[in-house]
Amino acid sequence: MQVTRALFDEVMVPNYAPSSVIPVKGQGSRVWDQNGKEFIDFAGGIAVNCLGHCHPVLVKALQDQSEKLWHLSNVMTNEPALRLAKKLTDATFAEKVYFANSGAESNEAALKLARRYALEVFGAEKTHIIAFNKGFHGRTFFTVTVGGQAAYSDGFGPKPADIQHCNYNDLAAFEALISDKTCAVMMEPLQGEGGIISPTAEFVQAVRALCDKHNALLIFDEVQTGVGRTGHLYAYQGLGVTPDILTTAKALGGGFPIGAMLTTTAIAAHLKVGTHGSTYGGNPLACAVAEAAFDVVNTPDVLNGVKEREQLFREGLTAINEKYNVFSEVRGEGLLLGAVLNADFAGRSRDFLLASADHGLMSLVAGTDVVRFAPSLIIPKEDIVEGLARFEKAVSQVVNG
């Protein structure tokens, strides 16, 4: 069968609009399409491929586990799931882990747990959830409603109730919303889809204090920021604030679908047997690959290397901007960076993405005004240099028409 982009339109539901490029092979931070064209990958599958493509440690873990055990369901547990859970609890604040298949499912579990905890500990009136405008927490109906982008949640009928939003970093607005009826606050410790927006230290610390005051659980959605992306294993570890519940996915499996919700023993106790579940959650194949990825990432060499690579990106983007004057700032932390377009190029982030592809570079957007970069955490420095040279050609193409 000949596979072409036209086949997508023939057989796939039209909720995506993929480019004409169909990659067929990846190695490290380079990818080749059907025609043999090479790309440098600054996208990382949207912050997923934390060790690039076909990392030998992950390939070996998958091959080894594929000859042992593929799937059981949670009628029984398995060794890879328990090993991974122990490593996650040893490395974080958490004492208990729930496995899912994606970030959305991990966030769904977190929100259900928060509601159940509040109901059983404080009573039926404590159902209020606060989240933030421009936030993104997944595409299930609960998570897309909690996410602060109405365009994603409108048009599907009545939404889950008792959810309110305010602006990120707006402490006065947040303080006006929270009350003793608030059961949970969900936030990204660095907004990804919303434009690569970092929180102020004052804001994060005040949110934590107000949650404590009102007996509300603080949920950190670290689906995008987790597993080394910011140069910390999890972003909360660099903020001096500890959540009650943390969700992780994307980079957790290094490209293999897996997600997890992490929390304390006392809170976890409220997801009793039968209250929640997942057929594939804790799948042995997924957990074996995730364990291997975790072991590689959770090392000083890799985490410190993220900060070194961040500096290379910032220096390179600054040099490009000095020549072309297209960005107002570069936001983010570690290898989750956003080049914010200035007023002259506002709304044109997709133009930069398409031009990048023309010049052999895979990049991302975060809204219409931000070009986003989320490459492998171990991308070779020469690939950063070459990728930025290709990005400069893309910028020149957009600027000069």
Q: By three-state DSSP, how is residue 165 classified?
A: strand
Catalytic residue among 132, 136, 313, 345: 136
Distance CA 332, CA 392 (A): 20
Q: Is the pLDDT of residue 400 over 90?
A: yes
- pLDDT of 401 reads 82
- Mean pLDDT in residue range 88-101: 98
To the question of whether residue 136 is assigned a binding role by annotation, the answer is yes
Active site residue 393: no
Could you tell me if 73 and 216 lie in one domain? Answer: yes
Active site residue 221: yes
Report the number of secondary-structure helices (H) and strands (E) in the chain.
Answer: 14, 15
Could you tell me if 36 and 72 lie in one domain? Answer: no
To the question of whether residue 247 is assigned a binding role by annotation, the answer is no
Which CATH number goes with the domain that contains 311?
Answer: 3.90.1150.10
- pLDDT of 374 reads 98
The structure's pTM equals 0.95
Q: Is the pLDDT of residue 397 over 90?
A: yes
Domain around 346: 5-54+300-400
* pLDDT (tens digit per residue) in 107-127: 999 999 999 999 999 999 999
Paired sense of beta strands 96-100 and 361-362, if any: unpaired
Could you tell me if 234 and 324 lie in one domain? Answer: no
Percent of the chain with pLDDT over 90: 98
Q: By three-state DSSP, how is residue 311 classified?
A: helix
Distance CA 336, CA 234 (A): 13
List the alpha helices (DSSP H) in 27-93. 44-47, 56-66, 79-91
Identify the band that residue 292 occupies on the pLDDT scale cut at 50, 70 and 90.
very high
Which CATH number goes with the domain that contains 110?
Answer: 3.40.640.10
* Number of domains composing the chain: 2
- pLDDT of 311 reads 98
Distance CA 208, CA 162 (A): 21
- Which of 282, 297, 312 lies at the terminal end of a domain, its last residue? 297
Q: Is the pLDDT of residue 194 over 90?
A: no
- pLDDT of 33 reads 97
To the question of whether residue 279 is assigned a binding role by annotation, the answer is yes
- Which of 279, 297, 315 lies at the terminal end of a domain, its last residue? 297
Could you tell me if 290 and 342 lie in one domain? Answer: no
To the question of whether residue 222 is assigned a binding role by annotation, the answer is yes
Could you tell me if 199 and 247 lie in one domain? Answer: yes
Distance CA 29, CA 10 (A): 31
Could you tell me if 17 and 146 lie in one domain? Answer: no
- pLDDT of 361 reads 98
* pLDDT (tens digit per residue) in 125-167: 999 999 999 999 999 999 999 998 898 999 999 999 999 999 9
Q: Is the pLDDT of residue 91 over 90?
A: yes
Identify the band that residue 225 occupies on the pLDDT scale cut at 50, 70 and 90.
very high
Could you tell me if 347 and 207 lie in one domain? Answer: no
Catalytic residue among 41, 221, 244, 383: 221
Could you tell me if 15 and 30 lie in one domain? Answer: yes
Could you tell me if 283 and 311 lie in one domain? Answer: no
* pLDDT (tens digit per residue) in 244-272: 999 999 999 999 999 999 999 999 999 99
Q: Is the pLDDT of residue 193 over 90?
A: no
Catalytic residue among 174, 220, 250, 352: 250
Could you tell me if 342 and 195 lie in one domain? Answer: no
To the question of whether residue 79 is assigned a binding role by annotation, the answer is no
To the question of whether residue 122 is assigned a binding role by annotation, the answer is no
- Which of 248, 270, 297 lies at the terminal end of a domain, its last residue? 297
Could you tell me if 98 and 39 lie in one domain? Answer: no
Could you tell me if 217 and 70 lie in one domain? Answer: yes
* pLDDT (tens digit per residue) in 302-352: 999 999 999 999 999 999 999 999 999 999 999 999 999 999 999 999 999
Identify the band that residue 386 occupies on the pLDDT scale cut at 50, 70 and 90.
very high
From the number of C-beta atoms within 10 Å of its C-beta (0-12, 13-18, 19+), residue 241 rates as buried
